[in-house]
Amino acid sequence: MRTYRDAKAMAKAMREALAERKLDIQHNEALEIVARQFGLDTWNILSAKIAEEVGTTARRDDIAFEQAVPIVRIFDVAKAHEFYLEFLGFSVDWEHRFGENFPLYTQVSRGDLKLHLSEHAGDATPGGNMVVYMEGIRSFHAELLAKNYRYMKPGLEKQDWGLEMAVTDPFNNRMRFMER
């Protein structure tokens, strides 16, 4: 749907379409017509509304959220790697320890999905639950079943909101993969 901010583009498109039909109008005439299409008397009134809307949007656009990255509590690196890397197909992006024989803090990812796995006691509570929206859930389900992971044979369920597949890691953290 077009908004006031599209007015100049609309005027340009109208002038180009009319020019193809050998009808030439001035840019200011096109702007006046577009203003009337928005129910306003003149381009000056529409221009003021655009400035007002852009000013409001500029104040809202200074806040931008990026991807949330859940922290998942783990207790055994080998078991975490078996589940997240071998079974779910994630890759290790980086690992951090404050020194030898210190707890691990690592990031794993698969596609755009990133998780932080932590052995640190205060970072997260075991038994967490997260929702991951995705596409291709049937293929992912088939991939996981084909791995024949001895601790998890996830089912695929039809819900009111779409398809859902739940998996639980060795530390009782649940991931619910959903496709709308």
pLDDT digits (tens, 9 = 90+) for 165-174: 999 999 999 9
CA-closest candidate to residue 74, choices 115, 106, 107, 117: 117
pLDDT > 80? residue 59: no
As a whole number, mean pLDDT of residues 39-51 equals 83
CA-closest candidate to residue 71, choices 112, 120, 110: 120
Domain boundaries, the chain: 4-60, 71-179
178 pLDDT band, cuts 50/70/90, is very high
Stated length of the chain: 180
Tokens of 37: 């299409």
pLDDT > 70? residue 64: yes
pLDDT > 70? residue 1: no
pLDDT digits (tens, 9 = 90+) for 130-166: 999 999 999 999 999 999 999 999 999 999 999 999 9
Output DSSP code: residue 170.
T
| CATH node for 71-179 | 3.10.180.10
Across the strands, what pairs with 179? 163
Tokens of 69: 């990255």
Identify the residue whose tokens are 């992971």.
Answer: 149
**pTM (two decimals):** 0.66
Write down the mean pLDDT value for the chain: 89
